[in-house]
Amino acid sequence: MKITDVEVLYLRLPNLTIKGDGSQDAVIVRISTDEGIVGIGEADSSPLIIKAIIETPPSHSASIGLRDLLIGEDPLEIERLWEKMYRQSIYYGRRSVGVHAMSAIDIALWDIAGKYYGVPVYKLLGGSYRDKIPAYASVLMPDTEYEVEKLACGFIEQGYTGVKFGWGAFGKDEYKDVSLVAAARRAIGDKLSLQIDIGMEWKTVSHAIKMCKRMEPFHLNWIEEPIPPDDIEGYARLARHVSQTIASGEELTTRFEYWDLMDKGQVGIIQPDVTRCGGITELKRIATLAELKSTRIVPHGFSTGILVAASLHFLAALKDGDLMEFCRTGSPLNTDLLIKPIEFEHGMVVVPQSPGLGVELNEEIVKKYGYRVS
């Protein structure tokens, strides 16, 4: 089998606003083969940059667009192709968007492999520990205690196992941070786990240490990104001074960056996003390192059903992959992009069982939201 094409689909809602959430646009990669098997993947990144990285013509031997590296290759040789892409994009790639683009391609290759062998991707990853993954709801922190309580009650009704309030109102006033979290805990009682995502708004390590201590009465499952993920020394200081579990890393790419965050930064939970970190291939390597460091993985996920499906297969095959972020925004790119949506029942997300990722694009939605740059 040979790869015959690598297409980049840029989907975008007509009324996109930069203050809105990340589900307003998406970049999907579709890889075709000479045997008629087609795979899909996604990068949660900046769509036109991803498009450029994949489609750009070669300028010299270590600066080649990813599409040119893949045409004519055997799509089943996934690890070799990962190394080929990494090596030949080494000057413009290695981290960040270069690896985001590789992630989308890698996911599409796993989809092709599953379809070729007639099995769901989790079987290729070693087999399934579970067929449903417990999900926590993830939502922006609103401005008032009333709104916090209303949202929290809705999540209890929908059956989620936990809730995370993040970004939004956090970090502007320390008294308000405490009162909003107190309202969340009051509203959910001890029925659900509660975690908060500071979105790097606590700024200094000293302030973050002080605020973590003030959050102790609310029994948080974790405190996420109080400071930027590159501040490895800051995370190490937090680990020495704070009793709660600290989570971080949704922005990072490759095992090299996660190793530093775990080894030097001593975080308790890493949050790789499969559509950014290097795809399923790299996420497996990161998981091996995480096991060596006794660090938990709770993947980040805030985009289409392709990301959700890739995360589900990874978690199904991970020994302790028993929690995922699950966002249901009103965006049609989240709700309608797949012919058969990802199933959510009683707080659990169901792992697709068809070959490959087990999801198919709804071509009408692709056509409707396909965006062309003039």
| Burial class for 367, CB neighbours closer than 10 Å (0-12, 13-18, 19+) | exposed
Site for Mg ion in 203-232 (CB under 5 A): none
- Is there a contact between 34 and 1 (Cβ–Cβ < 8 Å)? yes
β-pairing, 246-248 vs 269-270, is: parallel
- Is there a contact between 325 and 302 (Cβ–Cβ < 8 Å)? yes
Stretch that binds Mg ion, among 27-35, 40-48, 182-190, 191-199 (CB under 5 A): 191-199
Is there binding between residue 44 and Mg ion (CB under 5 A)? Answer: no
**Least Å distance between CB 327 and Mg ion?**
11
Residue 226 vs 358, nearer CB to Mg ion: 226
Catalytic residue selected from 60, 300, 313, 346: 300
Residue 93 vs 249, nearer CB to Mg ion: 249
**Least Å distance between CB 268 and Mg ion?**
15
Stretch that binds Mg ion, among 125-133, 193-201, 291-299, 347-355 (CB under 5 A): 193-201
- Is there a contact between 29 and 108 (Cβ–Cβ < 8 Å)? yes
**Least Å distance between CB 276 and Mg ion?**
12
Does the annotation count 207 as an active-site position? Answer: no
Q: Quote the DSSP letter at residue 217.
A: G
Stretch that binds Mg ion, among 129-137, 195-203, 229-237, 305-313 (CB under 5 A): 195-203
**Least Å distance between CB 198 and Mg ion?**
9
Stretch that binds Mg ion, among 77-85, 194-202, 329-337, 350-358 (CB under 5 A): 194-202
Is there binding between residue 197 and Mg ion (CB under 5 A)? Answer: yes
**Rounded (5°) CA angle 369-371-374:** 155
DSSP line for 183-215: HHHHHHTTTSEEEEE-TTTT-SHHHHHHHHHHT
Write the interaction track for Mg ion spanning residues 144-183; mark x where CB under 5 A is met and - where it is not.
----------------------------------------
Residue 13 vs 140, nearer CB to Mg ion: 140
- Is there a contact between 32 and 50 (Cβ–Cβ < 8 Å)? no
**Least Å distance between CB 127 and Mg ion?**
30
Q: How many residues bind Mg ion (CB under 5 A)?
A: 2
Distance CA 113, CA 116 (A): 5
- Using CA atoms, how far residue 203 sits from 75, 142, 165, 224, 231, in Å, is 44, 20, 18, 13, 10
The first and second tokens of residue 355, run together, are 């070959």
Distance CA 64, CA 49 (A): 14
Stretch that binds Mg ion, among 116-124, 131-139, 142-150, 196-204 (CB under 5 A): 196-204
**Least Å distance between CB 225 and Mg ion?**
5
Q: Quote the DSSP letter at residue 39.
A: E
Residue 177 vs 197, nearer CB to Mg ion: 197
Residue 138 vs 304, nearer CB to Mg ion: 138
Residue 166 vs 356, nearer CB to Mg ion: 166
Closest of 67, 134, 76, 130 to residue 104, by C-alpha: 67
Q: Measured over all CA atoms, what is the biggest interatomic distance in the chain, rounded to whole angstroms? A: 61
Site for Mg ion in 230-289 (CB under 5 A): 250
Distance CA 286, CA 284 (A): 5
**Least Å distance between CB 311 and Mg ion?**
14
Residue nearest to Mg ion (CB): 197
- 3-state SS, residue 285: helix
Residue 42 vs 250, nearer CB to Mg ion: 250
Which sequence positions are flagged as catalytic? 300
Q: Which residues bind Mg ion (CB under 5 A)?
A: 197, 250
